Chains A and B, each alone.
Chain A
Amino acid sequence: MGYISLTEIEKDIRIKKCEYWEIILQDDMKERMVSAENSLKEMQGMYQAMKQADKSYEGRRKSSSGLAGTDGLKIEKANKTGKIISGEFMGHVMERAVKMGESNACMKRIVAAPTAGSCGVIPAVLLSYEKDFKMSETRMIESLYVAAGIGCVIAKRASISGAEGGCQAEIGSASAMAAGALCYLRGGTPAQIHNASAIALKNLLGLVCDPVAGLVEVPCVKRNVIGAVNAVTASDLSMAGVKSVIPADEVIDAMKNIGRMLPCALKETAEGGLASTPTGQKIAKRLSGK
């Protein structure tokens, strides 16, 4: 993608009098030398792969380590029996986020968005919104362009890799992308979209990558929930008119800065944080067979 800032995207939308997603689509056509039809078809493929992954969740399956699996079923049951107090829509978001994270841990087919470890955030928000608020698939695909545009800017200015920037770069980025996409679907202006992304990312700044035994399971699966829920609340704040004092591009730069300052032990090496707790170490020892 050609854009290196969200400000630039906002400016182009104003000048060209286009929708947000059209600007990103045009950029993709130029970058990859493809037709609009071709690009839209590929994005539709991504959305359908997310749907398929959600549908094919297997509630009784456990990952090979035994650490991840079956929690999606528990939330599904709690949702069906009215035991979730954070609201019906939020219940569905949580359920989908856990299910996708578990499917990933169980070696099922998912869509990395932006990474495999954070693959639950965007589908949890978007699939639930489509279903509960009766959106057309066309609109959903448009919103994926918005998410992708925001994600590309983050990847360019900062990072989307846990090894480079910690979990804030994975779940944080996914959350910012989902918040922006959701704002777009709710009729938000480009400024409101970026404001929602800024709020979502700010809330997760500093989040470290400390996976137990180095596996994309603990705490990764449940962090997909916080990324998704945070995206929904950030879009609510932005649509209500609440503004982020720090502009989105500067928040992204702050994320990069924090990522650089984080010690390596907290960047996917499984040497610090939850990985180095007594329980975390015990699990790692058991799995390595030593």
Chain B
Amino acid sequence: MNIFDIVGPVMVGPSSSHTAGAVRIGYISRKLLGEEVHEAEIYLHGSFALTGKGHGTDKALIAGLLGMHTDDVRIPDSFQMAEEKGMKFFFETADLGDVHPNTVLLKLTGKSKRKLEVMASSLGGGRIQVNSLDGLTVNFCGDYPTLIVHNQDQPGHVAEVTSMLSHKSVNIANMQLFRSQRGADAVMVLECDQEIPKESIAWLMHLEGINKVTYLSLKED
């Protein structure tokens, strides 16, 4: 925590958890998808479902999906902007299970038909956590350049990824491994101190046993 977490951030109201956090979830999801959003199915859980409308959570999520930051004054007009851009979306309330009260599930389809399912929670003060990607558990906050690799659960994939990072002088801040069951789908999440070059990400995608590579860059598009 630094002094600008206390005096700041500059944000569009009314709530750091229900508005600013929601913008951030939308923004991070759009970055994870890696392209413009064509269609978004959005499922609101708990307090997001109950008091979301009054806090503009719906408008905030769409604003984030359109690439807006938490201090963008166009957030209240995001529905209209989505319409102008031809982005389709719908909202539903859902019980997402034993998760944080401010949780949302986004099923996204991009302009080039790339698909991604993101479940994320707003933890308060504008901080967020991504809980699952395409149904597999993950845990990251979006404050670092983050690499997410879906792969077959077999020996060697972690070594491939980490040696590539070492080669590119990228330091790993946090690393987590998850798998659905032995030998089935696995996912690794690496939060890094530096950005990973585009070509290295593309290289990873072509490796055998790697199913999907998702990268969250902190650079503006």
Contact = CB atoms under 8 A, between A and B. Distances in A.
Interface of A: 1, 24, 27-28, 31-32, 42-43, 45-46, 49, 63-65, 103-117, 119, 122, 144-145, 147-149, 151-152, 155-156, 160-161, 163-164, 177, 213-217, 270, 287-288
Contact of B124 (A46, A108, A163): A163
Interface in B41-61: 47, 50-51, 53-56, 59
5 contacts: A46-B8, A114-B7, A152-B3, A160-B6, A163-B17
Given A104-B14, A109-B73, A1 B53 contact: no
Contact of A109 (B16, B50, B71, B124): B71
B101 to A, nearest CB: 9
Contact of B13 (A103, A148, A161, A213): A103
Contact of B55 (A145, A152, A216): A216
Contacts of B10: 45-46, 49, 109-112
B68 to A, nearest CB: 12
Contacts of A114: 6-7
A105 B54 CA distance: 9
Contact of A116 (B1, B5, B13, B51): B13
Contacts of B33: none
A248 B100 CA distance: 34
A116 B3 contact: no
A107 B16 contact: no
B11 A109 contact: yes
A144 B19 contact: no
B51 A108 contact: no
Contacts of A111: 7-11
B7 A46 contact: yes
A70 to B, nearest CB: 16
Interface string B1-41: 11111111111111111011000000000000000000000
Given A110-B13, A155-B6, A116 B20 contact: yes
A177 B6 CA distance: 10
Contacts of B145: none
Contacts of B75: 107
A13 to B, nearest CB: 16
Given A106-B13, A177-B6, 17 more contacts: A1-B3, A27-B3, A31-B2, A46-B7, A46-B8, A107-B13, A107-B75, A109-B71, A112-B10, A116-B16, A149-B3, A152-B6, A155-B1, A214-B54, A216-B13, A216-B15, A287-B53
Given A105-B14, A107-B19, A112-B8, A148 B3 contact: yes
B7 A113 contact: yes
> Lowest 10 CB-CB distances: which A-B pairs, in order?
A104-B13, A214-B51, A151-B6, A148-B3, A216-B14, A215-B54, A148-B7, A49-B10, A107-B76, A116-B16
A213 B51 contact: yes
Contacts of B20: 112, 116
| Most B Cβ at <10 Å: residue of A109, A112, A117 | A112
B6 A117 contact: no
B12 A109 contact: yes
Nearest to B7: A148
B110 interface: no
A61 B20 CA distance: 21
A212 to B, nearest CB: 10
Given A107-B13, A109-B73, A148-B3, A64 B8 contact: no
Contacts of A152: 1-3, 6
Interface in B163-218: none
Nearest to A181: B7
Given A31-B2, A109-B71, A155-B1, A64 B13 contact: no
A151 B2 CA distance: 10
Nearest to A113: B7
Given A63-B14, A114-B7, A116-B19, A215 B2 contact: no
A112 B3 contact: no
Contacts of B9: 111-112
A112 B7 CA distance: 6
A114 B17 CA distance: 13
